Amino acid sequence: MKSVRKYVLLLGALASSLLCACTSGAGAAKPLPVSFSRMTAEEKSVLECDPKKPELNISVDLRYAADPAKPVACEAINREILKTALVPIGEKTTVRIGPDFVRSVQDYIAEEVKSYQDAWTEIYNDWGHSFGSENRIALRGNTRGIVGSTIIYSLELDRDTGGAHPIHFKYFFNFDGENGKRLTLADLFKPGYEKELTELLTRRAMTLENVSLKSKLSCEPAPTENFIVESDGILFYFNPYDIAPYSRGPISLKLRYGELSRILKGTVPSAVTGN
């Protein structure tokens, strides 16, 4: 398909632009094909029933597509960002994603506050204390660069909700600036790529951990849509829990284009492979 060919041919140029392209404003190499706005919010909710007055603190700093000339692309981009950013924390929290990005985030914040108050008030009423639980949620998202009409976006989620440990997750998106479609593995690789890509990722993990047997690995690599294109290959990013225990931390596995040549669609430009 024409769109698939376009994505593949953009691989090399996309990667080379990531290090030099500014996210926005003065000094940007070229304007984004879709205009973005910024939403920031700070919310604090105090558990008044507990004499210790524990707090929930929510911090938001997200860029979102806001281009009147491209409403379809904006809605597609924003929906993908929100689907990942507005992850429910408690069982009583639901994700509401509407066409209004700011309103969707505001609704999410309100629901998180309500969930926090309801859950910890119930615990306080049952036990006479809420364990002094201090909760924190932070959402950070920004554009990283562009090539052609492809927009690179990164999202970071920090959450400390009274569990065993806080978490930090990172996600990458590649958006077509014309229609807002998110670039996926299926756009880059031939049908049936999963088995070979899994094997390549496994071998890379074995090299990274310096083990000769798959059974010795601390992780179980598998294809992920959380990837970013670089000048000489594709970096696959795995958050804690994706393929390994939390204690292992995030895992980055990079595969060179030469390794991927058998399963990539189209022809990778020589500028990418270095040939």
Tokens for 181, please give them: 């479609």
What was the pLDDT predicted at 24? 38
Contact 89, 139 (CB under 8 A): no
> Cβ(265)–Cβ(188) under 8 Å?
yes
What's the pLDDT at 20?
Answer: 39
Position of tokens 């990778």?
268
Q: Where are the domains of the chain?
A: 32-183, 186-273
How far apart are alpha carbons 229 and 152 in whole angstroms? 9
pLDDT of residue 274: 34
**152 contacts 143 by C-beta, under 8 angstroms:** yes
Q: Compute CA distances 148 → 118, 176, 182, whole Å.
A: 48, 9, 15
Architecture of the domain made up of 32-183? 2-Layer Sandwich (3.30)
Residue 34, pLDDT score? 92
pLDDT digit string (tens) for 254-268? 999 899 999 998 644
Q: Confirm if 61 and 85 have CB atoms less than 8 A apart.
A: no
Cβ atoms within 10 Å, residue 76: 18
Instruction: Tell me whether the CATH fold assigned to 32-183 matches the one assigned to 186-273.
Output: no
Pairing of strands 55-65, 36-46: antiparallel
Q: Indicate the residue type of 268.
A: V
Indicate the CATH number for domain 186-273: 3.90.640.20
User: What does the alpha-carbon distance between residue 195 and residue 185 come to, in Å, rounded to a whole number?
Assistant: 13
Low-confidence residues of the chain: pLDDT under 70: 1-29, 88-96, 130, 132, 147-149, 162-163, 231, 266-275
Residue 144 has a pLDDT of 87
Classify residue 200 as exposed, middle or buried by CB count within 10 Å of its CB (0-12, 13-18, 19+): buried
What's the CA angle centered on 165, arms 47 and 94, to 5 degrees? 60
Q: Which three-class secondary structure state does DSSP give residue 103?
A: helix
